[in-house]
Amino acid sequence: MTGQLTSKTSAGWPEFGSALRAWRERRELSLRGLAEKIRWDYSLIARWEQGKNRPSFEAITLLDSELGAGGELTAQALRAAMAETDRLRRGTVEAVDAKASTRDRDEDMERRRLMRDAAAVAVGGAVAPVLATLTDAWQASDPRISGASVSQEMIDDWEDAADLHARRAYVDPPAVVLAGLAADFADMAPHLSRAQPEPVQRDLAHAAARHASLIAGKWFDLGNRREARRWWGKTRTLSERSGDTLLAAWLTGREAAYRRTDLSEDLSDVLLVAQRARRLAGDRPSAPLVIALSAEAQTLAMLGHHVEAITALRRAEDVFDQLPSTPVGLDPHWMYFDRSLIYTLADDAQRATEAQSAAEELYSSGHHGTVTMALHSAALHARTDPEQGARQALRLVEELPVARRDARISATARIVLDAAPEKARALPAVRELRALTTGYRSA
């Protein structure tokens, strides 16, 4: 994604360049000043702004973070990559399905223009067309279900992809996960809009709802609340269409778990979302019931209702113990995060520390939970030594690659501020941490 543009290249990159220049000027930075921050040559940044070169994925995430664009530059780059790769693929679609109608081809091109091959950002512009071609060829080689536009293998593949995206979301930067999700959802989109046999429509909606929920979460992590809310709305619609109440409970609980960290949200409303998830899950032991109770416990703790939060947490643990095995998509060590968070907020240092110590042996160093629980530990320290706690939190965030400093990390770091005594607000490290986490609720 660093080659020169040509007359046949999408206009998306010049549009990205215009947005980049606008954000740089808004921050009152010169080209050289921005170059010093992201450690790229200023002349190359100038070519990005002119639309003459395509920035790499690493550069895009650095720019978005350093300029505080809240995911807008990432989104613009995704659109540019998709539009450009769409141009490269136009002949491929006709080769794969020579019998397709002009209308069908136009629909395919449109959805690719909108979403497909966001993978160009993640895997590189040169590889993305090959990936897209092979995906189309694989899909075309499988027999369609009678009366449907999809095969059973395609539906199964999308379900498997949702599992993969969910696992990668714990360790990969949000923009990378979002790129893969965009490519898969774009494959499903035209089939969702067409008439399908009822069982096929339900199965399609099931896989699509799981993707939509993950897309919402990654937009939230990138700081784009508007897109997150749109995709949670899409998640609810698709969940209802799937007819799977337990799926709806699972994804509603996940929505509440994200939204509780947003300062613009009323926590009482978020609690209602978590409680709706619990009602949808019913009383029988299930992973969705665990997710719902977990989201409810976290939200109650943030509201300061610590006794109720601990009660909900213990019920979630009881339900989890009754499951025959850990379901795919449910972090098997989720309880350590919940214990760490809830007991930290309840100022129970012993139980919080026990959860954090146990998790150290289970989570990999790159796992999202490792960083968040280390931030919980910093919050415990901040109660007795706010300067040390704030510096510990700052160090943890600064050691993360820029692409992984997502909205939830910032929100979690903010609990250090809430834990520090009011008289510590003037301390340099506390002020720096406050500036870093402005706009996010403690989580």
Separation between Cα atoms, residue 113 and residue 109, nearest integer Å: 6
Residue linked to tokens 């809830």 = 342
pLDDT at 316 over 60: yes
Segment 361-381 shows an average pLDDT of 87
Q: What is the pLDDT of residue 226?
A: 87
Q: What is the pLDDT of residue 443?
A: 43
pLDDT at 172 over 80: yes
The half-sphere exposure of 288 on its side-chain side, counting CA atoms within 13 A, is 21
Tell which wins on pLDDT, 76 or 219: 219
Q: Residue 380 has which token pair?
A: 């415990």
pLDDT digits (tens, 9 = 90+) for 193-211: 899 999 999 999 999 999 9
Q: What is the pLDDT of residue 109?
A: 47
pLDDT digits (tens, 9 = 90+) for 123-162: 455 555 566 666 777 777 888 999 999 999 999 999 999 9
pLDDT at 441 over 80: no
Tell me the average pLDDT of the chain. 83
Separation between Cα atoms, residue 421 and residue 165, nearest integer Å: 40
191-218: string of b/e by CB count within 10 Å (b at 16+)?
bbeeebeeebbebbbbbbbbbbbbbbbb
Q: What is the pLDDT of residue 420?
A: 87
pLDDT at 385 over 50: yes
pLDDT at 299 over 90: yes
Percent of the chain with pLDDT over 90: 49
Check: CB of residue 221 under 8 Å from CB of residue 408.
Answer: yes
pLDDT digits (tens, 9 = 90+) for 255-264: 999 999 887 8
pLDDT digits (tens, 9 = 90+) for 322-359: 998 877 677 777 899 999 999 999 999 999 999 999 98
Separation between Cα atoms, residue 207 and residue 101, nearest integer Å: 27
Among the ranges 31-45, 50-64, 169-183, 274-288, which has the highest mean pLDDT value?
274-288
For 68, residues 6+ apart whose C-beta sits below 8 A from its C-beta are 23, 27
Q: What is the pLDDT of residue 108?
A: 47
Percent of the chain with pLDDT over 70: 83
Q: Which secondary-structure segment (H or E) carries 102?
A: helix 102-114
Q: What is the pLDDT of residue 147?
A: 93
pLDDT at 46 over 50: yes
Q: Answer whether 0.95 is exceeded by the pTM.
A: no
How far is residue 369 from each of residues 48, 174, 308, measured CA to CA in Å? 35, 15, 24
